[in-house]
Amino acid sequence: MVDFGYNRATTNLQSTEEGATSLRPDYRVAALTGDLATENDAQRLARSQAPVKQITTGTVCHLEAMMVEIALTGWNLDELDLLFIENVGNLVCPASYDLGEDLRLVLMSVTEGEDKPLKYPTIFNTADVAVITKLDLVTAVEFDLNSARDSIQRVRPGMKVFEVSSKTGEGMNELIQFLALQSAAPATAGRNAVELG
């Protein structure tokens, strides 16, 4: 499962769409996307040709395992190698909810500042991997990559970090290869679930 959170919906969708599109020739992928309202995200992700469903939460600021279970109705998980889940967009609420994922990724955009891990340590402490997105905007927003890396390591020493731009493709191959390797590893429930928060 891939769970995306915080105000990074466009980047997350582009990253998930590119990831799903890139993985589809060799892997069976699907995606669930969560948001308070609309099915816009699922419609955009459907361009990847992967099966996609939208979970609309109304006023709830996160996905819960039961919501995911209901959304998975009709899908045979044994026929999937990777299931991506995009969580509702914030770094607070999703941190406290286990969706049954095998791997949790947290995404932070360069437009949000280098100190996000220090302000929202729970999501970084509950994640396995950090992804810094919108790398193509580093210069424009005067983002200090070294400071961001340091903030991540101060909160979660040893955390694996990917730096990507879905616009230029920078770093995407490395992230996709990493996810492909996760798909090859044994999964806890007969599938590999990656959550990005």
Lowest mean pLDDT among 20-24, 98-102, 174-178: 20-24
* Total tally of structural domains belonging to the chain: 1
Q: Does 141 score more than 80 pLDDT? A: yes
d(CA 26, CA 58): 35
In a domain, 32, yes or no: yes
In a domain, 169, yes or no: yes
pLDDT given for residue 108 in this prediction: 92
Q: Which of 41, 64, 61, 50 is nearest to 20 (CA)?
A: 50
Q: What band does 183 get if pLDDT is binned at 50, 70 and 90?
A: confident
Q: Does 9 score more than 60 pLDDT? A: no
CATH of the domain at 151: 3.40.50.300
In a domain, 107, yes or no: yes
In a domain, 158, yes or no: yes
In a domain, 95, yes or no: yes
Q: Which of 14-28, 57-71, 116-130 has the highest average model confidence (pLDDT)?
A: 116-130
- Per the structure, the complete domain to which residue 111 belongs is given by 9-196
